[in-house]
Structure 1
C-alpha cells in the first residue's frame, strides 16, 4: 500500500495548469491606481471602500509573478488585506495597526506564503499566522477548522486524533495558551475534542508560536494560539449561513453607523435532529470502550436498553466594534461554548438502571481599548473574564436494592487586566512593555454516595486561588534582509506558591543572503495552572482530567526551557524551513500524566525532548505540494518509576510525516494528503497474577512497547459559485473523505480485569481504542 501511495503522489506532483504571470514596477504609485492596473492585467475585480484606501502610495517591483504573490507583497507594505471571494472577485479592507509586542511590519516583505493561502510565516518574529477566510482547501477539511489546520505543521501532533488535543513539541494540550479575543479558553473542543469550538467563519487572524514567544504571553510552557475574531467595520449588512453533516452555523455583521458595528455568530450540532453517517462515525470513535458504548454491562451477553440518548453542542459569539476616530478603537467580545450529554440504560434482567449526565461550558468576555497617540507611541488596555465549568453526575440503581451516585465538578474562574505600551525608538528599533494582573480560582469537587455501604461514601473538595502579577518588555532591532534581534524578559509572581519567576527570551536571525537565513531562540517559561488525571470517574471513560492550581506539595509549578536553531531557504517558489530544538520540562507528576502500571501512586519527574522539524513546500502554478516531517525523542524520568531510568514519554511520536497536495481548476479546489506516524508507547501486560487482595495485572516495563504505526489518506474538494452577477450572494459546496482506504489505526491500548460469564474466574481483557475509519462529509455554505 505504501509503495502505491508513493507512486501516486509522485505522478500527481507533476499535475499543473498555467496561470497568468506578469511583471510590475510601481514607484510611489497611489494604491487605487495599482488596483486598477492589476484588474486590467489579471482580469479580476477589487471591491473596496475608497476611504479605506485613503491616500496610500506604494513602491513595488516584481518579476514574472502571480497575482496572489503580488497581493501578499502589497499587504506587507500597506495596512490593507485582500480576501478572495470567487475566482475573479476580491474584497479589500483596512486592518488595524499592530502593536510592537505583536507582528511588526518591515519595509518590504514581512509575511510570505507558507503552506497555502491564509497560512504564512512572519519574518519579524517566530510566529506562524493563519487567516481562515483565506485558507485554501486542506486534506480532509471542507471548513477552515483552526485547530485541525495547525496540525499540518511540523512539531504539532494530536495522538488522540482530535482537534483540540494539540501536543506541541512534546507538550500536553493543557500546556498551550489559547486566547480568543484575549479571553483564555479552558475548553476549545466540541464533541470531546473532535471539532474545534472556535467558529472559523468569524475568525480573522490566528498567531501560532511553537517557540520564541513574545514576552506578553505567559503562564503556559508549550505553544501559544492567539486568535482574533473579525473587527472590521462594514457599511452594509452582511453574513453567511450553512451546514455540514455535524452542525449548522450562521453569522451576521450589522453596521449601526460609520463608527459602530455589531457581529453575531452561532453554531449548533444537528445530531439530535438528523442522524448522519458522519456523526455516527464520530460517535463510534468517541464513545468506544466507554460506559456509554458498553451500556454499563456486567457480562458481555447482558441485554441493554437505551432509555435516554441526548447529545448536542453549540457556541455563540457577540462582538461590538467602536471606532470613534482613526486613533482609537474599542472592542467588546463575548463567547459561549457548551457541550451537553445525557445517556440512560436499563438492564431489564436485573432491573438495573444507569444514567450519565455531563455538562461542559466555557464562557468569557473581553474589553479592549487601543489608543494611538502618534506614529511613535500607542498603547492597549485589555480586560477579560473567563469561566469554565464541567459538571458530571452518574447514577446506578436497582429498585428496592441500592441507589449509587457519583458527582464531579471542575470550575475555573479567570479574570484579569493588562496594559501594553509600544514605542518606536527609530527606524530600526522598537520597544514594547507592559503589566498584567490575573486572578485565577479553581474549584474541584468529587463525591460518592453508596446506599448499601455508607461507610464507603466520600467527599473531596479543593478550592484554591492564584493571583499573578507580571511585568514584561521586548526590545526589537531590525535591519532589513540582514539582522533581527529580539530581546525580551518577563517576571511573574504566583501567589499560590508565593514566588517570583524570571523568564528571559531571546530571538536572533541573520540573513546570509536574501533567500537564506539562520535563526535561533531561547526561552524559559512557567505555568501555575494545569490538568491532572482523576481515576474515580474512569468507569465513565470520558473527561477524566481536571484543572488544578499549583501548590508546594502535589502540583508543582511547571517549568520549560527551550532552545531552537534552524535555517530558512525561500526562492523561486521553493520554501524550506528546518528547525532543531531541545526542550526540558520540570514539575511533571504521575497525577498529571497517568501510568497504567501504577495506581494512585504519587511521583515527581521531568522530561527531556530532542526534536527536528522540517517543512518543504513547492508551488507550480495552480499546484502546491507540502512535505512536513517531525522527529522527536521525548524521555520521562521519574525517581520512583522504571528504577529511575529514562523511558519513552506517553505521547512520544518518533517520526511523523505529512505529504499534502492542493490543486485549483476553474471553480474547483482539491486537496489530497497522506499522514503517517509511528505508534505511541504503551505499557504491555503479561497476564494476571494472584495476590491476597485478588487478581492483579502483571505489567512489563513502563511504556516499553509501541502501538502499530498510524497512517491514513484524506481528500477534499470544494466548488465555489455565485448566485448573482455582482457576487453579492456567493456559495460553495464541499465534499471530504477521511481515511479513504479505511485503515484500522489504534490510538491507545489498555487492559482491564473482567469476570468470566461462565464461572467465577477472572480474565485479562485488552482494550484498544481505534481511530476514525472511512468518514465522508458534505458542506453547503452561503455568504451575502
Structure 2
C-alpha cells in the first residue's frame, strides 16, 4: 500500500510539473540567459558545456505553454537537443548535423514543412520559406535552383519555361521585387533566364510573398522574392564544389576568428570551352527563330558560315560576416553577374558579314548592421548599391557597299539606405517602423547608322532619376497557432512624378477549428520603374525589353490592389490549402506588354485577375506527394485595342496543375513530376492584305486564340555518400531528365512577312517557339 501511495504521489507530481505553463518573450536573448529564465519559471536545472553552446541567441514568443513545448521549439530554433535525466534535470548537447525533417524556426517564428523538406510556411506572416541547403529533391532538378524551385508553388508560373521569368498571380516578372542580401536585382537570370543567376549553394533562405507583403517592401506591385545568403561563422573551413552539364561552381567559407568569417563563391559556364548535350538543347530552345539561329539569312537556301561563336556566363560573390558579441552583427555582401555573347556570320555568296555582341551585367554591394538594445528593442541599418548594365551592338555590312550599325544601351544605378526598428510590446504584440531612401538613375540610348540612307539615322537617349522616400509602420498581434493579425501602412514619395502614394496593408489568420484555419489579406501597391518593349532591335530576337522610369503620362505609375481569402486544413499527414484572390492592376501600356496586331501604337490599359490556388499534400514515411493547381482569369482592357472590349492577358493560363512525388531510401532520393497547363493566348492571323504601302498581316481579335495545351514529365535522382570515415567530406551524384517523353510544346506563336525566294511575291510565315525537348543532365558535387 505504501508503494502504491508513493507511486500515486509521484504520478501527481509529474502531472503537475508537465502541465505547468508559462509565457516567454525572447528577442536576441543569449541561450545561457534563456536557460536561467526557464530554470526559474519551471524549477528545473540544465547541464551543458558553455563552450559548445557558444553565444547563440534565441528569438521566441509564446504564451502559456509547457516546458516540453518550449524545449521542442528551442531544439528546432538552434542546433541543440535536450535529454531528460530526471524530473528536474536536463542535459543539453549540440547537434552537428541536423536532420532535414526537423521543424525549423526563423527569427521569432515557427515554420512548418509546406510541400517538402526545405520549403516551409512562415507562421509570422504566412510567407513561404525555401532553404536550399535543406531542400529535398524536386522533379527535374538535381540541384536547388533558387528561382526554378519556386515554380512548384501554386500561383507562380513561367510560361516562357525560364527560371527568372516568374509570373506571380498575373503579374509580369518586372513587377516582382527580387532582393539578394538587400541588393535589388534587375537581371536575375543566366543564359537569357534559363538558369538562376543566384548561387544556391551559398543561399540560406528565400522568402516568397505572393500576398500579405510587409510594409518594409515597396516599389513593386506583384511578388517579393527576398534572398539571404549564409551568415553563420563556422568553426573550420567549409565549402563545396561541383559541376553539371552547363556550368561549374565552387564556394568557401573561411573563419577569420571566432567572431568573423568570409565567404567566397563563383560559377562559370564552360560551353565556350566544350559543349554538352544539355547545353546544346538549351541553346536550341533559347536561340530558335532568332538572328543567331537563322544566321542572318535573307532567303531560306542561303549558305551561312559562322565566323564567331562565343557565349558564357559567370557570377561571383564575396561576403564578410562579423559578430563581435550577442548584440551586434555586421554583414557586407558583394555580387557580380555577367552574360557575354558574340556571334558572327558570313554569307559568302554576297560577301555579307554580320556580328552581334551582347553584354549583360548586374553587380551590387550591401551593408547591414543588426543591433539589439535589450530584450524588446532592436534595429537594422542597411545600405545598398545596385548597377545593371546592358549593351547590344549589331553590325551588318557588304564590302564597298554598305555598313549598318545598331547600338542599344540600358542602365540602372540604384542606391539607397534604410533604418528598420522593431519593438516588442509584450509576448504577443510588436510594432515595426522604418524609413527608406532610394535613388534610381535610369538611362537608355538607341543609335542606328545606315550608310546607304543617312536620312534614316537616329540617335535617341533618355536619362531620368527618381528619388524615393518612404516611411512605414507595422503592428503585429500573434498568438502562436491561434491568431495572426498584421496591419501596416507605407507612404511612398516618387520625385519623378512629384506625388505621394499611400499603401495600407492588412493580414489576418485565425484557427476556426483544431484542424482548420482561415486567412485573408488586403494590400495596395505602387511601382515607378518597369520594363517596356523596344521594337527597334526585334530582328535580333533576344532581350528586347528595357528598364524605364514612369513619367506620369506615356509610362504611368503602376498601381495594384489585391485581396485574398482562404482556408488551410491539416490532419493526419494531409494538408489542403485553398486561397482565392482578386487583383486589379492599373497603369499598363501597350509599350509595357506588346501586341502583335498593333505597330508602335500607344494605348493605356488595366488588368483584372481572378484566381484560385489549391495545394494538396500528403506524407507517408519517406514518401511525399503534392498536387498544386491554379485557376486564373486574367483580362486586359485597353481603350484603343480590341475596340475597347476586354480580352485575355498575354500570360493568361486558365488551368495549371503540377503533381509531384519524392521518395527517400537510405542515401537515394528520387523525384517525379508531371506538369500540365492551358496554352497561353495569341493573336491569330488570317493572311495578308494588299495595301498601297505593301502587304500587311490581317489579324483576328487580340489574343482571341490559344496555343495547344502544355504538358511534360520530369524526373530526377540523387545519391549521397561519404568520402571520409568522419563524414566531413561528402559526395553527391545526380541525374535528371526534363520532358521525359519528348513532348513538342509550343511556347509562343507569331507571324512575319517573308519575301519568296522564287519570285517577288510575299508570303505569311508562322513562327512557333517550341519548349525544351527531352534534356538529360548530370551532377557531381563534393562538400566538406
TM-score under structure 1 length normalisation: 0.90
**Partner of residue 726, structure 1:** 726
Q: How many residue pairs were aligned?
A: 722
**Relative to 1, partners in 2 of residues 1:26 and 1:153: Cα closer, same or farther, differing over 3 Å?**
farther
Alignment partners' CA distance in 1, 2:57 and 2:532: 53
> Is the contact made by 1:80 and 1:92 (CA closer than 8 Å) also made in structure 2?
no
SS at match of 2:583: strand
**Relative to 1, partners in 2 of residues 1:503 and 1:455: Cα closer, same or farther, differing over 3 Å?**
same
**Partner of residue 466, structure 1:** 466
> Is the contact made by 2:260 and 2:321 (CA closer than 8 Å) also made in structure 1?
yes
Alignment partners' CA distance in 1, 2:711 and 2:494: 43
**Partner of residue 574, structure 2:** 574
SS at match of 2:124: coil
> Is the contact made by 1:404 and 1:449 (CA closer than 8 Å) also made in structure 2?
yes
TM-superposed deviation, 1:571: 1.9
Q: Output aligned runs, 1:285-434, within 5 Å.
A: 285-434=285-434
> Is the contact made by 2:139 and 2:714 (CA closer than 8 Å) also made in structure 1?
yes
SS at match of 2:54: helix
**Partner of residue 535, structure 1:** 535
**Partner of residue 4, structure 2:** none
TM-superposed deviation, 1:538: 0.2
**Relative to 1, partners in 2 of residues 1:59 and 1:346: Cα closer, same or farther, differing over 3 Å?**
farther
**Partner of residue 111, structure 1:** 111
TM-superposed deviation, 1:49: 4.2
Deviates more, 1:50-59 or 1:445-454: 50-59
Question: Is 2:449 aligned against 1:446?
Answer: no
Question: Is 2:532 aligned against 1:525?
Answer: no
Deviates more, 1:231-240 or 1:300-309: 231-240
TM-superposed deviation, 1:60: 6.7
TM-superposed deviation, 1:509: 1.0
**Partner of residue 21, structure 1:** none
> Is the contact made by 1:104 and 1:124 (CA closer than 8 Å) also made in structure 2?
no
> Is the contact made by 1:481 and 1:513 (CA closer than 8 Å) also made in structure 2?
no
> Is the contact made by 1:650 and 1:703 (CA closer than 8 Å) also made in structure 2?
yes
Q: Output aligned runs, 1:14-93, within 5 Å.
A: 49-51=52-54, 74=73, 78-80=77-79, 90-91=97-98
SS at match of 2:148: helix
**Partner of residue 618, structure 2:** 618
Alignment partners' CA distance in 1, 2:752 and 2:241: 46
**Partner of residue 437, structure 1:** 437
Alignment partners' CA distance in 2, 1:81 and 1:689: 75
Alignment partners' CA distance in 2, 1:400 and 1:560: 55
TM-superposed deviation, 1:27: 9.2
Alignment partners' CA distance in 1, 2:454 and 2:337: 38
SS at match of 1:256: strand
**Partner of residue 151, structure 1:** 151
TM-superposed deviation, 1:564: 0.2
Question: Is 2:781 aligned against 1:778?
Answer: no
Alignment partners' CA distance in 1, 2:474 and 2:267: 39
SS at match of 1:754: strand
**Relative to 1, partners in 2 of residues 1:388 and 1:633: Cα closer, same or farther, differing over 3 Å?**
same
SS at match of 1:612: strand
> Is the contact made by 2:59 and 2:108 (CA closer than 8 Å) also made in structure 1?
no
> Is the contact made by 2:58 and 2:77 (CA closer than 8 Å) also made in structure 1?
no
TM-superposed deviation, 1:484: 1.3
**Partner of residue 170, structure 1:** 170
Alignment partners' CA distance in 2, 1:621 and 1:471: 48
Structure 1 residues 209-264: Cα deviation after superposition (integer angstroms, max 9, x where no partner): 00000000000000000000000001111111000000000000111111110000
Alignment partners' CA distance in 2, 1:626 and 1:714: 15
Alignment partners' CA distance in 1, 2:375 and 2:304: 70
**Partner of residue 18, structure 1:** none
TM-superposed deviation, 1:105: 2.6
TM-superposed deviation, 1:91: 4.6
Alignment partners' CA distance in 2, 1:777 and 1:739: 12
Alignment partners' CA distance in 1, 2:441 and 2:52: 46
TM-superposed deviation, 1:490: 0.1
Greater Rg, structure 1 or structure 2? 2
> Is the contact made by 1:723 and 1:731 (CA closer than 8 Å) also made in structure 2?
yes
Structure 1 residues 318-343: Cα deviation after superposition (integer angstroms, max 9, x where no partner): 00001111100000000000000000
> Is the contact made by 2:79 and 2:98 (CA closer than 8 Å) also made in structure 1?
no
**Partner of residue 84, structure 2:** none
**Partner of residue 234, structure 2:** 234
TM-superposed deviation, 1:553: 1.5
Question: Is 2:660 aligned against 1:665?
Answer: no
**Partner of residue 255, structure 2:** 255
Structure 1 residues 246-284: Cα deviation after superposition (integer angstroms, max 9, x where no partner): 000000011111111000000000111111000000000
SS at match of 2:307: strand
Structure 1 residues 266-306: Cα deviation after superposition (integer angstroms, max 9, x where no partner): 00001111110000000000000000000000000000000
**Relative to 1, partners in 2 of residues 1:298 and 1:722: Cα closer, same or farther, differing over 3 Å?**
same
**Partner of residue 17, structure 1:** none
Alignment partners' CA distance in 2, 1:682 and 1:75: 53
> Is the contact made by 1:81 and 1:92 (CA closer than 8 Å) also made in structure 2?
no
Alignment partners' CA distance in 1, 2:480 and 2:322: 35
Q: CA RMSD in A?
A: 2.2
> Is the contact made by 1:281 and 1:773 (CA closer than 8 Å) also made in structure 2?
yes
TM-superposed deviation, 1:90: 1.6
**Partner of residue 704, structure 2:** 704
**Relative to 1, partners in 2 of residues 1:389 and 1:141: Cα closer, same or farther, differing over 3 Å?**
same
**Relative to 1, partners in 2 of residues 1:59 and 1:341: Cα closer, same or farther, differing over 3 Å?**
farther
Alignment partners' CA distance in 2, 1:405 and 1:164: 30
Alignment partners' CA distance in 2, 1:61 and 1:544: 58
Alignment partners' CA distance in 2, 1:558 and 1:592: 11
Alignment partners' CA distance in 2, 1:609 and 1:185: 26
Structure 1 residues 613-648: Cα deviation after superposition (integer angstroms, max 9, x where no partner): 000100000000000000000000001011111000
**Partner of residue 192, structure 2:** 192
Deviates more, 1:160-169 or 1:268-277: 268-277
Question: Is 2:586 aligned against 1:590?
Answer: no
**Relative to 1, partners in 2 of residues 1:269 and 1:569: Cα closer, same or farther, differing over 3 Å?**
same
**Relative to 1, partners in 2 of residues 1:698 and 1:357: Cα closer, same or farther, differing over 3 Å?**
same
SS at match of 1:147: coil
Alignment partners' CA distance in 2, 1:75 and 1:713: 41
SS at match of 1:631: strand
Alignment partners' CA distance in 2, 1:225 and 1:404: 42
Question: Is 2:570 aligned against 1:563?
Answer: no
**Partner of residue 647, structure 1:** 647
Alignment partners' CA distance in 1, 2:521 and 2:580: 11
**Relative to 1, partners in 2 of residues 1:278 and 1:60: Cα closer, same or farther, differing over 3 Å?**
farther
Alignment partners' CA distance in 1, 2:465 and 2:373: 37
Alignment partners' CA distance in 1, 2:489 and 2:772: 43
> Is the contact made by 1:737 and 1:775 (CA closer than 8 Å) also made in structure 2?
yes
Structure 1 residues 664-699: Cα deviation after superposition (integer angstroms, max 9, x where no partner): 011100000000000000000000000010000000
**Relative to 1, partners in 2 of residues 1:485 and 1:273: Cα closer, same or farther, differing over 3 Å?**
same
> Is the contact made by 2:150 and 2:156 (CA closer than 8 Å) also made in structure 1?
yes
> Is the contact made by 2:730 and 2:782 (CA closer than 8 Å) also made in structure 1?
yes
**Relative to 1, partners in 2 of residues 1:625 and 1:92: Cα closer, same or farther, differing over 3 Å?**
closer
TM-score under structure 2 length normalisation: 0.90
TM-superposed deviation, 1:55: 11
**Relative to 1, partners in 2 of residues 1:755 and 1:56: Cα closer, same or farther, differing over 3 Å?**
closer
**Relative to 1, partners in 2 of residues 1:270 and 1:619: Cα closer, same or farther, differing over 3 Å?**
same
Alignment partners' CA distance in 1, 2:170 and 2:779: 34
> Is the contact made by 1:77 and 1:105 (CA closer than 8 Å) also made in structure 2?
no
TM-superposed deviation, 1:78: 3.2
